[in-house]
Chains A and B, each alone.
Chain A
Amino acid sequence: MARAIAGDQAAYGELVTRYTALAHRTAYLLGAGADAGDVVQEAFVKAYRKLGTFRPEADFKPWLLKIVANETKNLHRGRRRRNLMELKMATITETVDHDDPGTLVDDSRAKLLKAVQSLNEHDRQVVTCRYLLDLSEAETAQTLNLAKGTVKSRLSRALAKLRPMLEEVAHER
């Protein structure tokens, strides 16, 4: 990291390689869709130019993801495309555990995904960062450029909206 900040491009290349998958997943899940690759590339170029503003003691991950999130937002702005790219489930596997509500069958997962995507943009973004990208609340706040309190309140509002849907699915089983 220190070498990359000092302008060592080989060191920066290593950072890019290490963080590409996470940056790509972030762009994709935040709605970049097929443009996720371009977003990631542009984000790394911008990040390089902004390395001078990176505090060495800070955490690189949320600093980078904030740039990725911004690039994704710019993509939408440029195209006047407000709606999210449709996300879908990975290959269908039949795993059922009726005793553990945390593990859903595929159909239920698909419904939950649909419910997440139907949340308003603000709530969906915090849910995406916090749970789908498994970021901490602090990292979520930094990535989305929000206050921690805002993240907390949006998360609890989103969970409250998603709960009835899950209860309905559980009831149907």
Chain B
Amino acid sequence: MINAIKSLAAFTWNSRMKNTGVIVFAVIALIPAILSFLAIRYAVEDLSPVVFLREYIVPINVYFTLPFIALFLTLPTVASLYEKGAIAYIFTRPVPRWACVAGILVGSILSATPLLLLAALAPSLVFGIFMPDSFGEVMSLGFMHSLLLILSVIPYCALCVLLAIWSKKPLLWAAFLLFFWGTVVGSLPGDAKIWSLHHYVMGLAKSMCGIEKVATGLLPPSATPPSDGLSVLVLIVITVGMLYLAQLAAKRRDVY
């Protein structure tokens, strides 16, 4: 079973990363680094690299880069397998559907990882190079930022795998869920945000990267974030839940 998961993960990786489309993702992942460079180039004198990374770059990555990469990296792999009927090659093998789903999920997470590392580490590197005094501090923030994004992309990818199997119009659903249910609901004042995955991602962001506020003032993190343990637990439960529902959907959805 492990070999089957590895094999499908490798296929998913190949179909995403050995593809010219990956350049688009790389460019998207480099936007925070470009913004960092522009900030240095046109900076006010008292620009603090750490504050800029915490209040500007980390939120951009959590609000935008993370859902974008999870969505556009995961959905096309699964959706095209169904649309082209190629999923039949996989589902007519003596492998349980959950293992097929898990393989695709692992491949999606692995494909997202280098891009998220680029999104998190490149801005720190830019600051480290142009403002060498802050090198140690920004790189250490960069590593925590990377870890945050990689942990967070797991449930996001799981959600996308479920939607791609369950729905014939997954893009619409995924965009709605990731950006609206995730980012917008997760930043609502009051208790409604506890129902959003994003709330727990931002909880981790606060403790791992020290985010207290957002530079733009938009969608600020909660003043009373969940504990790290609860946040990680929620991410795990959502991932497992999505995986379970995805394999159920894989059994129910007809293959044409």
A, B bound: no
